[in-house]
Structure 1
Amino acid sequence: MAKSTVEKSSARLKTVLDVLAEGTWSEKSLNAGEILAEAIVRVPLDERESELLSGGIPRGHKSLTSETAKLVKAGWLVKGRSGWTITDDGLRATVAFAKPDEFVTALAEGTPVPADTPLPAAPVKKAPARKPAAKKAPAAEKIPVAKAAPKKAAAPKARAAVEKLEQPSAVAIAGDFNTILGAAEDWAPQYDEVQMKFNARRKVWTLAATLPAGFYTYKIALNRSWDENYGAFGVRDGANHELKHDGGKVTFTYDHATRDIVTA
């Protein structure tokens, strides 16, 4: 029997924590976009959930993003600038509320994770099969070899220079409000008016603007073109960023290390 949209949404939300829990054992770091994408791969969107909203984001993707706020409120997930992190309580929640319906009910009712709930066990790694020992070949007759002159100790190698993150030559906010900033057209990263300024001390790019109240969409475009651009959650060629603004000054801050942006 096909699962309802509500059931799939519940399973998808639990999968977000499952993916994060698995990451604690694999030591593989995933950003928010990759976590949400993996949850959607495991619990695919139905036809209605796949409908694109303004900004090109599927309805189900946006809904899942909003639903993750419940995980934060429950104390099971921490959203930081460097990524999402599952808490110990979040790890235990994947054990205590193993079924999606139990999981969502616990979230809705604020049910605490039982204190005696253990952390999930690390997945058992299969030991590689042992290869049969190779048969030893008969020992060859040793021929005396002249001793080579001792080698001179090599000079100590200089330490490799710490690799530095190469910053782009330009970063632009290309969106549907560029003409408000004074550019000749919207969605055009080549204009000076939409270029961000690099803060060498903080290693971030910023742009402050005054915008009327409204709903805006935009992307980050590098080097005054669309060849390399980043959307929501720092995903290359990803869905548009969205901004619901009450009007007034807003500051955009782009971090090239994460390819993501924050507004304040």
Structure 2
Amino acid sequence: MAKNASDKLEARLKAVLDGLADARWAGETPNAGAVLAEAVEQVPFDEHEASLLSGGIPRGHKALTTATAKLAKAGWMVKGRAGWSITDDGLRALVAFPTVDALAEALAEGTPIPADVAVPTAPTGAKKTAKKAPAKRTAKKAAAEPASSEAAAEAPVAPEAEQPVAQPVLEGQPDSVAIAGDFGAALGAEADWEPSLDAVQMGLDAASAQWRRTVDLPAGTYTFKIAIDRSWDENYGAFGHPGGANHELKHDGGPVTIVYDHATKDVAFS
């Protein structure tokens, strides 16, 4: 079992790649939430990792989402609008670097895959396929699960100011809502139009049952859609139409608050 935060993160990255390989053999393209949830199920968060950041996201989930950029940069996986998938080189990497340590070292040092490693045409090894995570399972739910006794004993104690704050549960609301558009990079995201990233998530206002996000943007015209549960499987465009035309924001520059109402599926600006 992984013994520290770095080891656990490396094990989860291996689980992400393994899960994507399983999905490919099954002819599936899972969304980001399902991929990440399965990795966390295999290597659960400890108490510290499960604690929530100011945006309501478990710190371990944010670390894992950020770390998957290494897999994409290596050319081993693709983060697409339709879901995440493993590449041929990703399958070759699992053959060339079959252990967590070997895979982590290859990622860290940029080790090329040996030329004589062929793309497998069927699952390799005796690895048991992990139980597929339900489509609606997310890291938020994983954060509510108790950590193992060993993990809890090893977890560093978070500062008191960063302890989880009880979040209200509102019926009928999704687990997460993202403003995915052409200004993702301006919000600190690794890419535009990528709803799985933490940087583009909105926050739920319990009093109004609306999702809000204040962004500071340069003057210009921007386009975006509302994406539900970190994927494009459910998304809403102009006038709340499912999969509709992009929302358009003509902005003079400075802060603007985007408000999404899941009852109407539409947005407003203030």
Indicate the TM-score class for this superposition, using the shorter chain for normalisation.
0.5 to 0.7
Residues of 1 paired with 2:256 and 2:95: CA distance? 40
Give per-residue Cα distances to partners, 1:9-39, cap 9 Å, x unaligned. 1000111110000111122331111001100
Across the two proteins, how many residue pairs are aligned to each other?
171
Verify the 8 A CA contact 1:176 1:217 in the aligned structure 2.
no
- Displacement after TM superposition at 1:60 (Å): 0.7
Secondary structure at 1:104 match in 2? helix
Counterpart of 1:187 in structure 2 is 210
- Displacement after TM superposition at 1:196 (Å): 5.3
Counterpart of 1:208 in structure 2 is 248
Secondary structure at 1:48 match in 2? helix
Verify the 8 A CA contact 1:95 1:117 in the aligned structure 2.
yes
**Which of 1 and 2 has greater Rg?**
1
Query: 5+ residue gaps in structure 2?
Result: 127-176, 180-200, 213-225, 227-235
Counterpart of 1:79 in structure 2 is 79
Match of 2:238 among 180, 190, 197: 197
Give per-residue Cα distances to partners, 1:67-93, cap 9 Å, x unaligned. 011111101111111111211110011
Counterpart of 1:142 in structure 2 is none
Q: 1:219 to 1:29 in 2, by over 3 A?
A: farther
1:105-124 matches, cutoff 5 A: 105-120=105-120, 121-122=122-123
- Displacement after TM superposition at 1:207 (Å): 2.5
Counterpart of 2:53 in structure 1 is 53
Amino acid at match of 1:206: N
Residues of 2 paired with 1:205 and 1:224: CA distance? 13
Amino acid at match of 2:30: L
TM-score, normalised to structure 2, is 0.52
Verify the 8 A CA contact 2:15 2:39 in the aligned structure 1.
yes
Secondary structure at 1:75 match in 2? coil
Verify the 8 A CA contact 1:172 1:222 in the aligned structure 2.
no
Verify the 8 A CA contact 1:172 1:220 in the aligned structure 2.
no
Amino acid at match of 2:246: T
TM-score, normalised to structure 1, is 0.53
Greater CA drift, 113-122 or 32-41: 113-122
CA RMSD of aligned residues (A): 4.2
Amino acid at match of 2:66: S
Give per-residue Cα distances to partners, 1:179-217, cap 9 Å, x unaligned. xxxxxx79369xxxx9952598x9424333338667989
Verify the 8 A CA contact 1:196 1:206 in the aligned structure 2.
yes
Higher helix share: 2
Q: 1:11 to 1:220 in 2, by over 3 A?
A: farther
Verify the 8 A CA contact 1:175 1:216 in the aligned structure 2.
no
Verify the 8 A CA contact 1:196 1:207 in the aligned structure 2.
yes
Residues of 2 paired with 1:87 and 1:39: CA distance? 18
Amino acid at match of 1:37: A
Q: 1:42 to 1:177 in 2, by over 3 A?
A: closer
Asked if residue 18 in structure 1 is aligned to residue 18 in structure 2, the reply is: yes
Verify the 8 A CA contact 1:49 1:60 in the aligned structure 2.
yes
Secondary structure at 2:246 match in 1? strand
Higher relative contact order (CA 8 A, sep 6+): 2
Q: 1:18 to 1:217 in 2, by over 3 A?
A: farther
Verify the 8 A CA contact 1:92 1:113 in the aligned structure 2.
yes
Q: 1:37 to 1:76 in 2, by over 3 A?
A: same
Residues of 1 paired with 2:96 and 2:56: CA distance? 36
- Taking every aligned residue pair, what percent have the same amino acid on both sides? 48
Q: 1:216 to 1:44 in 2, by over 3 A?
A: farther
